[in-house]
């Protein structure tokens, strides 16, 4: 906000500053600024603000001054520190490295986005040579923390290479003095006690998919050889128990699960959340489906609009907050990550909602053959025959060459919200991010068109739900606790 010089003995008045952004909400306006501060004003007070009729002695003047909305009263050092904290990742280099150990999978999920091939497919496994070279490439990143995530297909189908890659990564971490985090995403159908023991002893965090009760999960995640839900639940319980029985030799992480929301989920929010809490899971990620990969071809059957998802998300958050008030430990992860930005001015590592997005500069996807992509979604587009998001190969490229590639540069430029006409004046800009892959798949260009972009509308809907909850003192108290959970 601009502060006008007083005329004679009149008190100072204020008017909006160029850095102030606003969004209309029920009963008033949400104000935000580049530092990520936010404030609410009633519609009446908003009129006073933009017309310069808020005097210095007014309580509203003091409130807006504290949030960095009044020029001449801004703590520039403090606001700059908040901005630096939120954007520190820009100087680190890619920290997440996704190794696709195989394209083979024994599931036929309706919404599959991983470009999976049949279990008997040939020449779709990552070789040992490629896996070791991929680990070496990952450690060439200047990031002080390296996260290697093993995905597929179903990564347990290439168990020998997985174990070799884990051991090699541990050696590289010891030699480089970098912090290493290892993660596995599996459907658990091929899990055994022996494999579980190796993963636990090597401190590999473990995640599976859980879409809700058995009938819903099995409808989404088709497993011809058995009951997909039963296998997921069995091993979730196993790893939950192991976490409760910690040993001094190594750290056992809590197992986690991923929810993918299909059209079949929209009327069953309580059942889905109860499935998670019943298994003792303390996090649920209400993750929207994207029209990428197989999901795009079935969108009319399993997809939904941003309005439908926002309504579902709001119901989920209402129920989760109700459970919290009853003493049940459960949080929604998208909310927790967004709240890290909104309340704590910290970047939580949610690469889909960064500015610029995490493509290449935050993550790299390593295909089974060593090809490098800006992200796993970009790799999926490549599997469909379009290599627009390919940035190199572990056998031909250095990290500098990959990050300087046309694809990497294009993703950075197109996901810079300052250059997106609609995003540059959006109140949610300090907390949001554009996905070039979504734009390309849904709208035919990396830039997309935000005014007709369903992902943009979906994120605006989620932010609207979150900020409405933050206005309620009781809900805010619960939500503030979510940001400090590890």
Average pLDDT over residues 22-44: 91
**pLDDT band (50, 70, 90) for residue 85:** confident
Phi, psi of 73 (to 5 degrees): -120, 15
Q: Using alpha carbons only, give the angle 219, 222, 223 rounded to the nearest 5 degrees.
A: 140
Q: Across the strands, what pairs with 149?
A: 98, 183
- Strand, coil or helix: 4: coil
Phi, psi of 258 (to 5 degrees): -110, 135
**pLDDT band (50, 70, 90) for residue 84:** confident
> What is the C-alpha separation between 302 and 216, in angstroms, rounded?
12
Average model confidence (pLDDT) across the chain: 91
**pLDDT band (50, 70, 90) for residue 6:** very low
Quick one: how far is CA 393 from the chain centroid?
25
Average pLDDT over residues 76-85: 83
User: Which tens digit of pLDDT belongs to each residue from 113-148?
Assistant: 666 667 778 899 999 999 999 999 999 999 999 999
C-alpha separations of 318 from 129, 188, 280, 474 in Å? 49, 31, 19, 12
- Strand, coil or helix: 40: strand
pLDDT score for 114: 60
- Strand, coil or helix: 113: coil
> What is the C-alpha separation between 114 and 154, in angstroms, rounded?
10
Predicted model pTM: 0.92
Query: What's the burial of 395, exposed, middle or buried (CB within 10 Å: 0-12/13-18/19+)?
Result: middle
pLDDT of 2 above 50:
no
pLDDT of 396 above 50:
yes
Q: What does 394-406 look like in DSSP terms, one character per residue?
A: TTT--HHHHHTSH
pLDDT score for 170: 98
**pLDDT band (50, 70, 90) for residue 238:** very high
Average pLDDT over residues 97-111: 93
**pLDDT band (50, 70, 90) for residue 150:** very high
Q: Looking at per-residue confidence, does 348 or 158 come out higher?
A: 158
Quick check: 365 and 101 in contact, CB under 8 A? no
Q: Strand (E) positions, 126-241?
A: 145-151, 179-185, 204-209
Average pLDDT over residues 61-87: 85
pLDDT score for 121: 82
pLDDT score for 484: 65
User: Which tens digit of pLDDT belongs to each residue from 26-35?
Assistant: 889 999 998 8
Candidates 415, 348, 421; CA nearest to 378 is: 415
User: Which tens digit of pLDDT belongs to each residue from 255-300?
Assistant: 999 999 999 999 999 999 999 999 999 999 999 998 887 778 888 9
CB atoms within 10 A of CB 308: 15
Percent of the chain past pLDDT 90, that is, above it, reads: 73
Query: Which tokens sit at 460?
Result: 């605006």
Q: Find the helix packing angle between 454-470 and 333-344, rounded to 10°.
A: 70
pLDDT score for 76: 81
H helices then E strands: how many in the chain?
19, 17
Average pLDDT over residues 103-120: 79
Q: Alpha helices, DSSP H only, in 67-124?
A: 76-86
Query: What's the burial of 244, exposed, middle or buried (CB within 10 Å: 0-12/13-18/19+)?
Result: exposed
CA dihedral 450, 341, 41, 56 (to 10 degrees): -120
pLDDT of 181 above 70:
yes
Which residue shows structure tokens 């935050």? 362
**pLDDT band (50, 70, 90) for residue 485:** low
C-alpha separations of 21 from 30, 60, 79, 169, 454 in Å? 8, 17, 16, 45, 22
C-alpha separations of 126 from 114, 117, 376 in Å? 15, 13, 15
User: Which tens digit of pLDDT belongs to each residue from 411-451?
Assistant: 999 999 999 989 989 999 999 999 999 999 999 999 999 99
């Amino acid at each position: 906000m601009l502060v006008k010089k007083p005329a004679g003995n009149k008190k100072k008045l204020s008017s909006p500053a160029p850095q102030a952004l606003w969004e209309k909400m029920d009963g008033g306006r949400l104000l935000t600024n580049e530092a990520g501060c936010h404030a609410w004003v009633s519609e009446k007070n908003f009129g006073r603000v933009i017309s310069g009729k808020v005097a210095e002695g007014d309580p509203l003047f003091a409130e807006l001054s504290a949030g960095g909305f009044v020029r001449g009263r801004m703590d520039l050092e403090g606001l700059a520190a908040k901005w630096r904290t939120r954007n520190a990742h820009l100087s680190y280099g890619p920290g997440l490295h996704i190794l696709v150990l195989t394209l083979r999978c024994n599931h036929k999920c309706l919404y599959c986005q991983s470009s999976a091939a049949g279990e008997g497919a040939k020449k779709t496994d990552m070789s040992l040579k490629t896996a070791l070279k991929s680990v070496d490439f990952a450690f060439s990143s200047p990031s002080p923390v390296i996260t290697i995530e093993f995905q597929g297909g179903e990564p347990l189908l290439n168990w020998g290479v997985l174990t070799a890659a884990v051991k090699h990564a541990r050696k590289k971490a010891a030699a480089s003095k970098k912090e290493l985090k290892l993660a596995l995403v599996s459907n658990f159908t091929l899990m055994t006690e022996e494999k579980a023991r190796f993963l636990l002893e090597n401190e590999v965090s473990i995640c599976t998919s859980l879409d809700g009760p058995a009938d819903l999960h099995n409808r989404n995640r088709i497993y011809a050889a058995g009951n997909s839900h039963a296998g997921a639940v069995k091993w979730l319980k196993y790893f939950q128990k192991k976490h409760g029985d910690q040993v001094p030799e190594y750290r056992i992480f809590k197992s986690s699960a991923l929810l993918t929301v299909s059209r079949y989920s929209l009327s069953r929010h309580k059942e889905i959340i109860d499935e998670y809490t019943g298994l003792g899971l303390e996090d649920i990620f209400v993750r929207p489906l994207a029209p990428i990969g197989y999901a795009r071809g079935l969108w009319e059957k399993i997809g939904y609009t941003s309005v439908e998802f926002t309504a579902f998300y709001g119901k989920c958050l209402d129920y989760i907050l109700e459970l919290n008030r009853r003493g049940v430990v459960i949080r929604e992860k998208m909310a927790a990550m967004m709240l890290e930005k909104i309340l704590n001015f910290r970047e939580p590592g949610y690469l889909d909602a960064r500015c610029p997005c995490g493509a290449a500069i935050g993550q790299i996807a390593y295909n089974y053959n060593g090809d490098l992509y800006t992200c796993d979604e970009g790799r999926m587009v490549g599997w469909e025959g379009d290599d627009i998001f390919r940035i190199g190969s572990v056998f031909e490229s250095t990290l500098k060459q990959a990050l300087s590639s046309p694809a990497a540069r294009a993703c950075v430029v197109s996901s810079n919200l300052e250059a997106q006409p609609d995003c540059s004046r959006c109140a949610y800009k300090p907390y949001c991010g554009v996905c070039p892959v979504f734009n390309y798949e849904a709208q035919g260009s990396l830039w997309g068109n935000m005014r007709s972009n369903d992902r943009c509308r979906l994120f605006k809907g989620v932010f609207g739900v979150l900020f409405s909850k933050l206005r309620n003192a009781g809900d805010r108290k619960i939500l503030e606790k979510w940001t400090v959970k590890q």
